[in-house]
Amino acid sequence: MTRIASILIAAGLIASKVEGGIFLSDNFSGNTLDPNKWTANTSLSDVYGVPMIAVTNQSCQLTARAYLNTVTNYDPAAPGGISVSGTWKFVNDSGGGADGPWIATRSSGVPSSYYVASGEVTDGINFRLGVPLTASPPNAFSIAGNGAATVTSFNVVSNTLNMMQGDSANFVVTDDGTNLTYYMVKVGDPTQAAYATAVCTNHLSPNKISFYNREYSTDVAAVENVVIQTIVTGPQLNIAPAGKLSVLFWTASGTNYVLQSTTNPSSTNWVTVTDAVPVIAFTVTNQSPARYFRLQSQ
Average pLDDT score over the chain: 79
Question: For the stretch 40-62, what's the b/e string if a residue is b when 16 or more beta carbons lie within 10 angstroms of its beta carbon?
Answer: bbbebeeebeebebbbeeebbbb
Q: Which residue has the higher pLDDT, 246 or 2?
A: 246
Confidence band of 130 (pLDDT split at 50, 70, 90): confident
Residues 112 and 114: their CA atoms lie apart, in Å, by 6
**Domains located in the chain, CATH noted:** 21-229 (2.60.120.200), 238-297 (no CATH)
Residues 179 and 143: their CA atoms lie apart, in Å, by 11
Confidence band of 293 (pLDDT split at 50, 70, 90): confident
Residues 20 and 83: their CA atoms lie apart, in Å, by 9
Q: Count CB atoms within 10 A of the CB of residue 262.
A: 16
The per-residue pLDDT for 226 is 94
Q: In what order do the strands lie in the sheet with 257-262?
A: 14-18, 4-9, 292-297, 257-262, 271-272
Q: Count CB atoms within 10 A of the CB of residue 164.
A: 16
The per-residue pLDDT for 12 is 40
Answer whether residue 139 shows pLDDT above 50. Answer: yes
Q: Which residue has the higher pLDDT, 14 or 259?
A: 259
Strand-strand pairing, 82-92 and 193-199: unpaired
Sign of the torsion formed by the C-alpha atoms of 234, 18, 160 and 141:
negative
The per-residue pLDDT for 17 is 40
State pLDDT tens for residues 1-56: 344 444 444 444 333 444 458 899 999 998 899 999 999 998 876 666 678 899 99
Sign of the torsion formed by the C-alpha atoms of 177, 111, 194 and 91:
positive
What average pLDDT does this structure show over 122-131? 88
What predicted TM-score, i.e. pTM, was given to this entire model?
0.74
State pLDDT tens for residues 63-103: 878 899 999 999 999 888 999 999 998 877 665 555 677 89
Share of the chain above pLDDT 90, in %: 31
State pLDDT tens for residues 214-239: 666 667 889 999 999 987 556 667 66
Residues 10 and 37: their CA atoms lie apart, in Å, by 31
Cα 148 → chain centroid? 22
Q: Which value, to the nearest 10 degrees, does the dihedral of the CA atoms of residues 121, 229, 163, 62 take?
A: -50
Residues 83 and 74: their CA atoms lie apart, in Å, by 10
